[in-house]
Structure 1
Amino acid sequence: MVELGSTRNGLVAVTMSQIAEQAGIGRATLYKYFPDAQAVLTAWHERQITTHLDELSAAVDPAAPAIERLEAALHTYAHIQHNSVHHHGGELATLLHRSEHVDRAQQRLRGFLQDLIVEAVRDGDLRDDVATDELATYCLHALTAAGTVPQEAVHRLVTLTLTGLTATRGKSSAGRPH
């Protein structure tokens, strides 16, 4: 995206004139494609999310066992979270994360992980005492923390998350077979 971080009041206060100037285009051209600055920011955010989802898909070797594909996806997601932390705070995030495109992307991401989890449960590699949609949600929430830990802790966080998926397979929470 155009470098707008130098605007005095932040990205939320950016104007169409500033965007057009930074992009090296006329305001009329910009208005031809976008009604306002929020639409430009939303389009940029949508492109960022699509890029992240494509990274997740590309990280997974379709020929690998489901558990390996899941691990690759979780590592990739954790690294995306870690590297995107500066985009996830403040007023801009609040504005952009209320959009429909975010809801669609979250559903796609949760479904992608859930499909991998279903396969890994079927293969006997993951616990079967918790619903797969809950496990996918657990992974997403746990790995959101990757945005707040040092780089060297990201791998440990993924390992811990995977351990939560495999712990007590076929046992009740008290540790007895169910």
Structure 2
Amino acid sequence: MSRSNLYQRIYERQKGRSARYNKQEDALLLPLIEELCDCRATNGYRRITAHLNRKLRTGDYSFARVNPKRVYRIMRLNKLLLPKHTGRVGDNRAHEGKVVTLHSNTRWCSDGFEISCWNKEKVRVVFSLDCCDREIMSYVATTKGISATMVQDVLVESIEKRFGDTPRATA
């Protein structure tokens, strides 16, 4: 190790850590950033930077343009940043698969599934059911693929079962 490097390390320890980077103009930018954050509470530092640069361009300010890293640092030091998005929604929105309907025929759903058989064939089933009483109104099963016309037929059968034979509209 060279003497100059050793001397520099000892000298740095005695002197202490340097002060945090802070420009004099940050104090002038902070009220503008706070104002933008109050008006646009859901904007992050990038959108705030764009709005700030637009405001600086139109107003009588000594700044030409502000760097997004600088705005991020100012917002971080003053706790103006948005909470980080983790991709998870709050626990209060957990869905256990129960859809509550008070009366029959107010909400229907349809779904399909596939069953693999021992002889390597697959049976595909499409059905429609009433969410209130969980009654399956109509279904179709096939060993071939499910087509759109099959699903349409299931829905038409469901309507006819619940509301009687209704006249079809011709297109």
> Could you state the TM-score of these two structures normalised by the residue count of structure 2?
0.21
Q: Return the index of the structure with the highest Cα Rg.
A: 2
Q: TM-score, normalised by structure 1?
A: 0.21
Q: Where is the strand percentage greater, Structure 1 or Structure 2?
A: 2
Q: Give the number of the structure with larger relative contact order, counting CA–CA contacts within 8 Å between residues 6 or more apart.
A: 1
